[in-house]
Amino acid sequence: MEKLQNFINGAYCRTKSGKYIDNYDPSTGAVYSLIPDSNAEDVEDAVKAAEVAFPIWSSMSNEERSAILVRVAEGIEKRMEELVKAESKDNGKPLKLAAAVDIPRAVSNFHFFATAILHFASESHHMEGVGINYTLRKPIGIVGCISPWNLPLYLFTWKIAPALAAGNCVIAKPSEITPYTAFLLGQIAKDAGMPDGVLNIIHGSGASAGDTIVKHPKIKAISFTGGTKTGAYIAQTAAPMFKKLSLELGGKNPTIIFDDCNFDDMLKTTLRSSFSNQGQICLCGSRLFVQRGIYERFKTAFTEKVEKIKVSYPTDPEAIMGALVSEPHLNKVLSYIDLAQEEGGKVIAGGKRVHLDAPHDNGYYLRPTVIEGLSFDCRTNQEEIFGPVVTLTPFDTEEEVLQMANSTDYGLAAVVWTNDVKRTHRMAEQLEFGIVWVNSWLVRDLRTPFGGVKSSGVGREGGWEALRFFTEPKNVFVSY
Ligand code: NAD
C-alpha cells in the first residue's frame, strides 16, 4: 500500500510518529493509501526549515519569486492529467469536474498571485507642509495554511500562492481526507526551483498536526478554511497568541427565485448551484426560496431534472454526480434527510443512498435530494448539511424572503434570480452575506474579496485582500 510522505525542507520524508491514517477511495469505499499521522516533531522540523528559508525567500525580489510561482503553475499544468485523476480518486468527484474546475483553478491561483505581487502597491498619505506617511508591507514570516476536503488542491493553492508571493514561508496542511494532490505539489514546487524550506507540507489529523500548527509560537498567522466549529476552536486557541487569522467557514446559502426571472437560465444554473460537487461546495445554495407565482412550475421542472441526474462512479464520462467524500459524511447527510422528515418535510426527489455495481457497490453515493414543506427556521433549514440536499420554500414578498434568507447564523453567499433592476440592488444591499450573485452562480473573478459574515468567517481572501492579509503594514512618517 502506498505511504504518502510529508514534504519538509525540500524533501519527502516519513513522519516521526511512525503512525499512518487510512486514505479511502470514496468511489469504492476501499483504503488505497496511507497518510502520515504527523505530530509535533514533524511540525517542528518544518518550522526549523522555514526559519532558515525565510531570509532567503523574503529578500528575493518580487520578480524572482514571481518567476518561481509561475513555474509552479506551469508544473501543475504539465501534470494536469495525473492531478485530475488523483483529485477525483481521493475525493470521489467526477473526473470531468476535477478536469474542468479543480486543477485548472489551482493553475490560475498560482498564475494570479505570481503576477499580482508585481502590481501590489502600498499607500502613502501626504500631510501638507508637515511631512509624508508611507506604508511598508513586509511578509509576516512563517504562516500556517489549513484547508478542507471539498476542493482539495483548489483551496490549498488559494492560500499557499498569496502567502508565498508575499514572501512568507509556509507550513501547509491539507485535509487528511483528501491529501493526495497536496502530496504531489511538493515535487512540483521543487521542480519549479522553490528554495528548500519555503513550502512545507505536513499531513495528518486536525487534532494532532493541525492543532500543533495553530499553537506553534513561531507560526504567526493562520489561514484556515473548514467548518465553523473548527474555526471557533482555532480562533480561541490563536487569539491569546495574537496571531493574524483568516477564517473561511461554513455556509447555509439561499437561492432566491423571483417569478420575473429568466426561467430557463435559472433552472439550469440552480441545478448546478444545488448539486455541483455532490453539493459539497461552501457556495452551493441549499435553501431554495421560490416566489409563489412560479412555485409549482419550478417544483415540477426542477424535480424532473433532478431525477435525471446521473449519479455514478467518478470515471464514468456520463456522471453528473460522483461519490460523497467519506462514509461518516454520507451518514451525516442521511441523518439530516431523516431529521427533515421528522420536522415535517416531504422528500420529493432522491433521499436514498445508491449502490452501484461492483467494484463501486460500497462507494458513498447518494441521490440528489429535494425536500419541501419545512419551516424556514427548523434545524434542517438552519444547519449546514454540505451535501446534495436542498429544501424548497415558497414566499410572497421581498420582505418575507429577506427575513427567511437572513435568518441563519451563516452569511457566506446568496443568489438572487430576478429581472427587476431596482429589486436586484435592494436585495443585494440587504442580504447579510459576503457574496451575492445575481442571475448567476459561482462566477469568480480572483480580484474580488471572497469570504463570509456572521458564522461564515472572519476576513477576506482574494486579490489585494489576500496579499494584505499575508503582509504586515508598517507606517513610516518622514517630517519635512
Ligand atoms: P474541518 O473543519 O473538519 O477541517 C478542515 C481542516 O482543518 C482539515 O485540514 C482538518 O484536518 C483541519 N482541522 C480540524 N481540526 C483542527 C484543529 N483542531 N486545529 C487545526 N486544524 C484542524 O472541515 P472539513 O469537513 O474538512 O470541510 C468542510 C467545511 O469547510 C464545511 O463547513 C464547508 O462549508 C467549509 N468550507 C468553507 C469554505 C469557505 O470558503 N468559506 C470553502 C470550503 C469549505
pLDDT in tens, 192-247: 999 999 999 999 999 999 999 999 999 999 999 999 999 999 999 999 999 999 99
Most informative mutation of 21, 146, 243 for ligand 1 (most atoms within 8 A of CB)? 146
Taking alpha carbons only, the member of 204, 219, 215, 187 closest to residue 39 is 204
Q: What is the pLDDT of residue 158?
A: 98
Q: Is 114 in the pocket of ligand 1 (CB under 6 A)?
A: no
CA of 212 to the centre of ligand 1 (A): 15
Give pTM, 2 decimals: 0.97
Q: Are 418 and 263 in contact (CB under 8 A)?
A: no
- 7 torsion bin: left (phi>0), alpha (psi -120 to 50), beta (else): beta
pLDDT in tens, 428-462: 999 999 999 999 999 999 999 999 999 999 999 99
pLDDT in tens, 87-106: 999 999 999 999 999 999 99
pLDDT in tens, 10-45: 999 999 999 999 999 999 999 999 999 999 999 999
Q: Is 204 in the pocket of ligand 1 (CB under 6 A)?
A: no
Q: What is the pLDDT of residue 254?
A: 98
Vertex 78: Cα angle to 77 and 79 (nearest 5): 90
Which residues have a Cβ under 8 Å from the Cβ of 18 and sit 6 or more positions away?
A: none
H-type helices in 152-277, by residue range? Answer: 152-165, 180-191, 211-215, 228-238, 263-275
CA of 150 to the centre of ligand 1 (A): 9
The protein residue with its alpha carbon nearest to ligand 1, atom 9, reads 175
The protein residue with its alpha carbon nearest to ligand 1, atom 16, reads 206
CA of 245 to the centre of ligand 1 (A): 14
Q: What order do you get walking across the sheet with 346-349 strand by strand?
A: 346-349, 369-372, 389-395, 285-291, 253-257, 413-417, 435-438
Closest ligand 1 atom to 231 CA: 2
For the record, the C-alpha cell of 398 comes out as 421581498
CA of 210 to the centre of ligand 1 (A): 10
pLDDT in tens, 328-377: 999 999 999 999 999 999 999 999 999 999 999 999 999 999 999 999 99
Q: Is 182 in the pocket of ligand 1 (CB under 6 A)?
A: no
Q: How far is CA 224 from the centre of its chain?
A: 9
Q: What is the pLDDT of residue 334?
A: 98
253-446 shares the fold of 2-249+456-479: no
CA of 249 to the centre of ligand 1 (A): 7
Q: Is 383 in the pocket of ligand 1 (CB under 6 A)?
A: no
Taking alpha carbons only, the member of 396, 393, 397 closest to residue 377 is 393
CATH of domain 2-249+456-479: 3.40.605.10
- Domain spans of the chain, in order of start: 2-249+456-479, 253-446
Closest ligand 1 atom to 228 CA: 32
The protein residue with its alpha carbon nearest to ligand 1, atom 23, reads 226
Q: Is 210 in the pocket of ligand 1 (CB under 6 A)?
A: yes
Looking at the DSSP bridge assignments, the partners of residue 201 are: 7, 172
Which residues have a Cβ under 8 Å from the Cβ of 134 and sit 6 or more positions away?
A: 122, 123, 124, 125, 475, 476, 478
Cα separation, 251 vs 253, whole angstroms: 6
Phi, psi of 152 (to 5 degrees): -55, -65
Mean pLDDT, rounded, for 120-143: 97
Q: How confident is the model at residue 475 (pLDDT cuts 50, 70, 90)?
A: very high
Mean pLDDT, rounded, for 280-299: 98
The protein residue with its alpha carbon nearest to ligand 1, atom 14, reads 206
The protein residue with its alpha carbon nearest to ligand 1, atom 11, reads 206
Closest ligand 1 atom to 146 CA: 9
Cα separation, 423 vs 258, whole angstroms: 10
Q: Is 171 in the pocket of ligand 1 (CB under 6 A)?
A: no
Q: Is the dihedral of CA 441, 444, 450, 456 positive or negative?
A: positive
Cα separation, 397 vs 469, whole angstroms: 40
* CA distances to 144, 295, 417, 459 from 97, in Å: 28, 30, 25, 28
Q: What is the pLDDT of residue 147?
A: 98
SS3 39: coil
Closest ligand 1 atom to 213 CA: 20
Looking at the DSSP bridge assignments, the partners of residue 224 are: 146, 247
Closest ligand 1 atom to 151 CA: 43
Q: Is 230 in the pocket of ligand 1 (CB under 6 A)?
A: yes
Q: How confident is the model at residue 182 (pLDDT cuts 50, 70, 90)?
A: very high
Cα separation, 143 vs 224, whole angstroms: 11
Q: Which residues of 145-161 are buried (b: 16+ CB within 10 A; e: fewer)?
A: bbbbbbbbbbbbbbbbb
Mean pLDDT, rounded, for 137-143: 98
Q: How far is CA 25 from the centre of its chain?
A: 20
CA of 296 to the centre of ligand 1 (A): 37
Q: What is the pLDDT of residue 372?
A: 98
For the record, the C-alpha cell of 136 comes out as 511598508
CA of 148 to the centre of ligand 1 (A): 4
pLDDT in tens, 388-418: 999 999 999 999 999 999 999 999 999 999 9
Would you name the residues annotated as active-site residues?
A: 248, 282
SS3 312: coil
Cα separation, 87 vs 84, whole angstroms: 5
CA of 147 to the centre of ligand 1 (A): 6
Q: How confident is the model at residue 316 (pLDDT cuts 50, 70, 90)?
A: very high
* 253-446 maps to CATH 3.40.309.10: yes
